[in-house]
Structure 1
Amino acid sequence: MNTSSLSVSKFLYNWILMFVVWLGFTTSLAPAELITGAVVSLIVVAMTAKYLNCCGLDIFLPNKLFYISKYIGVFTIALIKSNIDVAKRVLSPALPINPGIVQIETKLTNEFAKMVLANTITLTPGTLTVDMVGNTYYIHWIDVTSEDPIEAHKEIAKQFEDILLKIFK
């Protein structure tokens, strides 16, 4: 795909995304709302195009939509499990925690994918992405079971990273 068609693809992707957000906020399919939403979305994307450069229309390919759905499912399950785990720790009289900061490496090359992984780690209770330098994440972990970067990566990020690698390849 050449640079020009890639730029158009990214622009259209961002416009569609912005328009869907508009529709979500207005919750109306009245013609005036649709036209206003399309125009406002177009203006916003045109003004912010150089900052919104993560994806193109290829994100809507069926295999990518499958992996995005899978990612949401895996994240939801991890979120529920970690919420239960943190609640048990907080409610336990002994407060069984072993906090610390661990370092993990990512194989992701896409900056947007790296940001998604960092936010996923942070949104999952018990872990917090403290810093990211290149491909290295520094993560505060409520119960450090291993300081080995490979083991920590397996426990914290691997399940998410494997899917993100398929989405952003």
Structure 2
Amino acid sequence: MKLSTKSKITVFTLSFFVWILITAITDVQEIIAGLVVALFVSLVAGKILFKSGRSIIASKAPYFLLYLLVLFWEMLKANLNVVMIVVNPYLPIKPGFIRIKSKLKEDASLTVLANSITLTPGTLTVDIDKDEGFLYIHWINVKAFEVDKCTELIGDRFESILRRFMR
């Protein structure tokens, strides 16, 4: 079997499985819709799963799982921090805009980094300067204004894993 065919079959199977997981199937029409969507996804993106004999998913899975763990941990910490700010209105906060420097160059990896920062409460990515490698972020409680320090506090927790995962 050709590598591209194997890749498309795998993508079809995974897509259909995800469709079943996220929908509450109540009739045959939903199953048919899932099959059509999975077929479309496998035809469009099926050839990218396997680039050699080894699956991209298999080689990147440990980094993906590590990234999810770090993301959820940072979201938990940020949520607790925002809860403390809401519960105690006298807690001094210092909102402001800062920028961080990223070494990531690809659009997809910069988007994942920006979305990860935005998903952690208290931070919101407002702009990306791809040419210079800066992300502009609104931070609910600015702890530093120096680019290097802000990069260390906000961006490095995600970027080190993203460099390995998104290459």
Change (3 A) 1:15 1:114: farther
The 3 A distance-change label for structure 1 pair 26 and 142 is: closer
CA distance in 2 between counterparts of 1:15 and 1:97 reads: 49
Deviations 1:51-94 (A, max 9, x none): x79x6444312x41011111111111111111111111122131
Structure 1 length-normalised TM: 0.76
Q: Letter of the aligned partner of 1:128 in structure 2? A: L
Quote how far apart the aligned CAs of 1:27 are: 5.7
For 2:107 and 2:23, the matched residues in 1 are separated by 31
Out of 31-40 and 112-121, give the one that drifted further. Answer: 31-40
Work out whether residues 59 and 167 of structure 1, in 8 Å CA contact, stay in contact via their aligned partners in 2. Answer: no
In structure 1, the partner of 2:107 is 111
Q: Partner residue of 1:37? A: 34
Amino acid of the structure 2 residue aligned with 1:89: I
Q: 1:145 to 1:21 in 2, by over 3 A?
A: same
Task: Report the equivalent of 1:163.
Answer: 161
Matching of residues 1-150 of structure 1 within 5 Å = 15=12, 18-26=15-23, 37-44=34-41, 46=43, 49=44, 56-57=49-50, 58-61=55-58, 63-134=59-130, 135-150=133-148
**Do 2:60 and 2:165's aligned partners in 1 also have CA atoms closer than 8 Å?**
yes
Count of residues in Structure 1 that have an aligned counterpart in Structure 2: 156
Structure 2 unmatched ranges of 5 or more: none
2:155 equivalent to 1:152: no
1:150 and 1:66 mapped to 2: Cα distance?
28
Give the letter aligned to residue 130 of structure 1. V
Shift of 1:118: 0.6
**CA, structure 1 residues 102+13, in 2 after alignment: closer, same or farther (shift >3 Å)?**
farther
Compute the displacement of 1:105 (Å).
Answer: 1.5
The root-mean-square deviation of aligned C-alpha atoms, in Å, is 3.0
When the two structures are superposed, what TM-score results if normalisation uses the length of structure 2? 0.77
Q: 1:15 to 1:161 in 2, by over 3 A?
A: farther
Runs of 4+ in 1 over 4 A off after TM superposition: 11-17, 31-36
